Structure 1
Amino acid sequence: MLEKNQTITIKGTKDGLTLFIDDRESFDDVMDELAAKLSDYHPRQDEPIVPVTVKLGERYVNDQQKQQLHELIGNHKRFTIDSFDSNVIHKDEALTWKEESDVKILNRIVRSGQVLENTGDLLLIGDVNPGGKVTSTGNVFIMGNLLGIAHAGANGDQDAVIAASYMRPNQLRIADYISRAPDYDSEGVYMECGLIDDEEDKIVIDRLHVLSQKRKDISGFERRMLNG
């Protein structure tokens, strides 16, 4: 906890140092006090580099201010900023986070030659015809026939999944993994899903109910899809 009227508190942890900055003080005052504190420290050249976590509280620091902190702390060669921890983010970052975490619902058919791209999770109510493609940075849920190409986790998320009412794709992709349609005939009654099996190191296709077992962090929305 910060002491009264103290702008900066430094505490040692097993992982390095944690720097607590009073979010009520101006940034210039913070820099002045931090410079004064660091001026009294003269590390030996054989000392290990110490990672520093900067706790900002309700303060937002922009890229220029982060660079100033990096330079000030980095001038004392045995310190390096490992991370910034703030309770607030920039509006643009909040909008990006919202876009990436929302489920986008679309009602359409993806026909041959068409490509549907999405950021975040995608719920498509309709078919993906042979030669059509859907790609998303998050999960892909298709309430219809998947007969074309589906790519989930397009930015590298290997925990992403693909689910469809009828799974007979030309190709499945999750992150950098690629698979084809299952070798058995699907009945088209139970929803199926494709996900990366860590033990087999490949995409496997299974009944949708395995998601709650293999993806413990499955969201409430996805659970409602599972349970009807």
Structure 2
Amino acid sequence: MFVKGVNDGLLFLLDEECPMDALLEHLTQLLHGDTASVFDGPVVPVSIDYGNRELSAEDARRLLGLFMRVENFLIREWGAHTAARRALLNTRGAMTGQTIHKGTVRSGQRVVSDGDLVVIGDVNPGGEVAAVGDVYIFGRLAGIAHAGIDGDERAIIAAAELRPLQLRIARTVSRPPEGEGWPPRTFMEFAYLGPDGMAVERLQYLSALRPR
């Protein structure tokens, strides 16, 4: 399964080959298990794409029900080959791989992905996450995050709570204002490279950076 930030929300690409019972179990743990609290917060538009998988009416009901039970998920799309999926392919080319890390990244720990990286949990001070592609943190980023480690300046870093010690995109480094830290927010944000260096915006403005 892949989780991607697209336009003003999230795209869940469900594994087409995974047995249905295993897929349901994985989604139940992700959305309603020990890590469920990281999805709390403001309303997030969600697209759910099951690709070429053939679904029975009962399978569709069970899958969709798991997402509908997340109170702040606003389901915008549900189906095979959604507009969100097509937009992602058009803007990023061939899809990269993705690593999903469940749990806290603790001090002294480093998690690296050769594609995109999704952390379902916090990144503590002294912890580090890095990816060739984008970094998504469904929790608090209080450590170091590096996206585009091979030089991709279009990579982004998104977090439910952005309080990093350091952000890096490609070769550009940004640190919080000295003595102030990053200002508190109640919505998911992402960092990206703009004409004047690194900038931070609400995740809903990602579509302006990566238009359809």
TM (norm. structure 1) is 0.48
1:99-148 alpha-carbon deviations (Å, 9 max, x no partner): x7122222121111111111101111000000100000000000000000
Q: Deviations over 1:66-108 (max 9, x none)?
A: xxxxxxxxxxxxxxxxxxxxxxxxxxxxxxx98x712222212
**Runs of 4+ displaced beyond 3 Å:** none
Find the counterpart in structure 1 of residue 167 from structure 2: 172
Identity, in percent, stands at 44
Letter in 2 for 1:151: H
> Which amino acid in 1 is paired with 2:109?
Q
- Residue 190 of structure 1 corresponds to 187
Amino acid at match of 2:193: I
For structure 2, the 5+ residue unaligned runs are 1-92
1:52-131 equivalence runs, <5 A: 101-131=96-126
Kindly state the Cα deviation for residue 184 of structure 1 after the two structures are TM-superposed.
4.8
Match of 1:135 in 2: 130
Deviation at 1:151, TM superposition (A): 0.2
* Greater relative CO, 1 or 2 (CA 8 Å, sep 6+): 2
Decide which structure has the larger Cα Rg and report it.
1
CA distance in 1, matches of 2:130, 2:193: 16
Q: CA RMSD in A?
A: 1.9
Pair 1:118–1:191, CA change in 2 (3 A): same
| Number of residue pairs the alignment of both structures matches | 117
The 1-side partners of 2:137 and 2:127 are apart by: 13
Give the aligned partner of residue 13 of structure 1: none
Residue type at the aligned position of 2:112: E
TM-score, normalisation: structure 2: 0.52
C-alpha distance in structure 2 between counterparts of 1:147 and 1:180, whole Å: 11
